[in-house]
Structure 1
Amino acid sequence: MRSAKVLVINLGALGTEITKNLVLSGVGSLSLIDSHIVGTQDLESQFFVSKDEVGTKRLDAAASRIQDMNPRVELNFDKDDFRTKPSSYFQQYNLIVATDLHSADIVKLNAISRRFSVPLFVAGLNGLSGYIFVDLIQFDATDEKLKSSMATPLKRLSQNREVIEVIEHFNEEQSKTFERIVTRNIYSPFEKMLKEGSLKGKLTRRQLKRLTNAVPLTLALFDYDDETSSLNAQDLREKATEKCVQLGLPVENLQQKYIEQFAEQAGLEFAPVAAVIGGAVAQDVINILGKKQSPLNNFIVLDAITLDMHIFEL
């Protein structure tokens, strides 16, 4: 944690929550890049800016408040548009967290992060829903548990997760034997997830019945890129239907109320949803930097109406 260099892209509601959690956790170096101006919508969804700072750069308004939370963290602020940076700019970081991006920008950033083997988190909000995409490329996580009567076998846990090593060690102080389990996680890039991601054969009938409409609708919104202002419920239904077919989900489960909600709330920031998604991202980043516990793999959707938070390997 103390030696890590982390980049956070955009300081909206999500970026604010993630930044707060990482700074308070004591990450070694945190760089923030954001070219946006403080608007009235920022006053409703985050706590680093005030109404007197509307019209100023978000980073100028937030910098001193962020630093005050933990003076021991090295902070760097960049008011350029991240899209103007050369690919080599991103190579210097141990991990990148990007928020509030359109799908085309995510695809480009993910290609860069993979080129330099830099772990990437992407998160966004759609009103009462939010998502997290994770691409660690390949990550070996270490967990420790008390050994039971049956030793943990080396085996494949899922399509993208496999136990590759189990080491026993005896704790003299507790007089117990523990297992140190190494699990290898393989990740898919964002573009492949959008085009080929599927849940066919991965869910039980009960899970399919309970699955929130927020999953296909979130993926459908990526097809709009930066044109969500012009979307309508009928067009969104057609795109969500296509995603249901791709994912292997029952099309008849799509509900009109969800479609209309997503059409109205695409890209909107609600502070409570930002707090949940931002907290989940920051906690996983902390786990990864400490190489503890198996990380999220690889797509997460929160439905704040049903309070469901689904994790999928797509």
Structure 2
Amino acid sequence: MGEMASVDITEDEAQLYDRQIRLWGLESQKRLRKARVLVIGARGFGAEVCKNIILAGVKSVTIMDHGVVDEQDFCSQFLVPRSEIGKNRAEASLERAQELNPMVEITADKEKIDDKPDSFFGNFDVVCATECTTAQFLHLDNVCRENNIKFFCGDVYGFFGYIFLDLQIQEFMEEVTTITNTHEPTGEPLAKKRKTEKTVQNTKGTETYVPLQDALDVDWTSESYAKRLKRMDPSYFVMKALLKFCDKKGRKPSPSEREKDIESLKEFVKEELTKQKIREDFVPELLLKDVFAEISPVCAIMGGITAQEIIKTVSQKERPHNNIFFFNPLKCIGYSACFGV
């Protein structure tokens, strides 16, 4: 990641990326043009991530998915045409993905994650994983840590979504605005509004991130975390219940099994809350009723946020979220919080 600024921008690239170079600067764009990104899972959420980072102008994107296109894809996956139903999802996404930006190298990989050697992931600067089991997420995070690769994982369940970031040690530049009072005190009453002067400076910062395992193993009975519960949104526990559901059932909650799946989720939530000595009504039941299918607008929101954080990470422009971002459908808001520290 430290050598990102060494690549040159061609005249054609400078013309294509003119607006974003004005936004985040030439050096940041150079870093993006050197970045190799792996996106695992090409459903609606993964497609949105791909779209945004391809348009941003990274060097390459590898779309990895061993599944085949089905009717469910057409609710939110805009990269696959209906004529490709029954074919591999990653390969079916290639043509439309490439049309977004011919200057980005885009390839498809239809193998399963578990069939890949750990050395495979060393070919990338960023790994973004979706549609995985908890064990797969944890393994990928460990591999990325060993190879200094920036790791993102997350998913969308109906109107609910989350992303986790493990950037290990992340350096960045951010603009800090300082407002100073230029009024000279004379002891006389102020007849006019005080004059102020605004100064914007680029400041270097560093953030430290914890592994996914630490973020999932929070002890809510500890004094520091028990205090957080009073002002905390319940999305963290919804995420854990959904991960457990997918691990146990081998699938996401299904609209065709809605009532049974809601009961299973309620049980998983209850188990976690009881274990952590938290009252059972901390997670509203209504929140568990909004986690079915992949909803296109939520995929767009979460895919946009994820791509934004990838761009921040690679370009080293602005402070990325640390370390989980949630979208809560009941409040219709997104927020970031740090767990496991």
Distance in 1 of aligned mates of 2:227 and 2:101: 43
* 1:199-214 alignment, distance < 5 Å: 200=225, 203=228, 205=230, 207-208=231-232, 211=233, 213-214=234-235
- Secondary structure class of the residue paired with 1:143: strand
Distance in 1 of aligned mates of 2:68 and 2:298: 22
1:13 aligned partner, one-letter code = G
Distance in 1 of aligned mates of 2:285 and 2:124: 43
- Secondary structure class of the residue paired with 2:302: helix
State the structure with more CA Rg: 2
Q: Which stretches in structure 1 are left out of the alignment for 5+ residues?
A: 151-174
**Cα distance change on mapping 1:66 and 1:261 into 2, 3 Å:** closer
Distance in 1 of aligned mates of 2:240 and 2:146: 25
Distance in 2 of aligned mates of 1:118 and 1:130: 23
Distance in 2 of aligned mates of 1:141 and 1:246: 38
- Map of 1:188 onto structure 2: 210
Distance in 2 of aligned mates of 1:252 and 1:60: 45
- Map of 1:95 onto structure 2: 126
Distance in 1 of aligned mates of 2:142 and 2:163: 17
- Map of 2:281 onto structure 1: 252
1:271 aligned partner, one-letter code = S
Q: Which stretches in structure 2 are left out of the alignment for 5+ residues?
A: 1-31, 182-196, 252-256
Whether contact under 8 Å (1:273, 1:304) holds in the other structure is no
* 1:10-29 alignment, distance < 5 Å: 10-29=41-60
**Cα distance change on mapping 1:127 and 1:197 into 2, 3 Å:** farther
Whether contact under 8 Å (2:325, 2:334) holds in the other structure is yes
- Map of 1:64 onto structure 2: 95
1:195 aligned partner, one-letter code = D
Deviation at 1:306, TM superposition (A): 1.9
**Cα distance change on mapping 1:182 and 1:250 into 2, 3 Å:** farther
- Map of 2:172 onto structure 1: 141
* 1:1-314 alignment, distance < 5 Å: 1-149=32-180, 178-196=200-218, 198=220, 200=225, 203=228, 205=230, 207-208=231-232, 211=233, 213-228=234-249, 232-244=261-273, 250-262=279-291, 265=292, 268-314=293-339
**Cα distance change on mapping 1:187 and 1:51 into 2, 3 Å:** same
Distance in 2 of aligned mates of 1:270 and 1:13: 8
Deviation at 1:110, TM superposition (A): 0.9
Distance in 2 of aligned mates of 1:91 and 1:292: 24
Aligned residues: 282
Distance in 2 of aligned mates of 1:305 and 1:149: 41
Whether contact under 8 Å (1:104, 1:225) holds in the other structure is no
Distance in 2 of aligned mates of 1:138 and 1:247: 30
Deviation at 1:274, TM superposition (A): 0.4
Distance in 2 of aligned mates of 1:182 and 1:197: 33
Of residues 291-300 and 227-236 in structure 1, the stretch that sits farther from structure 2 once superposed is: 227-236
1:5 aligned partner, one-letter code = R
Of residues 300-309 and 3-12 in structure 1, the stretch that sits farther from structure 2 once superposed is: 300-309
Q: TM-score, normalised to structure 1's length?
A: 0.81
Whether contact under 8 Å (2:124, 2:149) holds in the other structure is yes
2:281 aligned partner, one-letter code = E
Q: Deviations over 1:79-132 (max 9, x none)?
A: 211221110110121111111111111011111111111110102011110110
**Cα distance change on mapping 1:247 and 1:182 into 2, 3 Å:** farther
* Structure with the higher fraction of residues in helix conformation: 2
Deviation at 1:239, TM superposition (A): 2.7
Distance in 2 of aligned mates of 1:242 and 1:182: 43
Deviation at 1:279, TM superposition (A): 0.2
2:214 aligned partner, one-letter code = K
- Secondary structure class of the residue paired with 2:217: helix
Of residues 288-297 and 302-311 in structure 1, the stretch that sits farther from structure 2 once superposed is: 302-311
- Secondary structure class of the residue paired with 1:56: coil
1:272 aligned partner, one-letter code = P
**Cα distance change on mapping 1:255 and 1:204 into 2, 3 Å:** closer
Aligned alpha-carbon RMSD (Å): 2.5
2:298 aligned partner, one-letter code = V
Deviation at 1:146, TM superposition (A): 3.3
**Cα distance change on mapping 1:204 and 1:253 into 2, 3 Å:** closer
Whether contact under 8 Å (2:180, 2:198) holds in the other structure is no
- Map of 2:23 onto structure 1: none
**% identity of equivalent residues:** 27
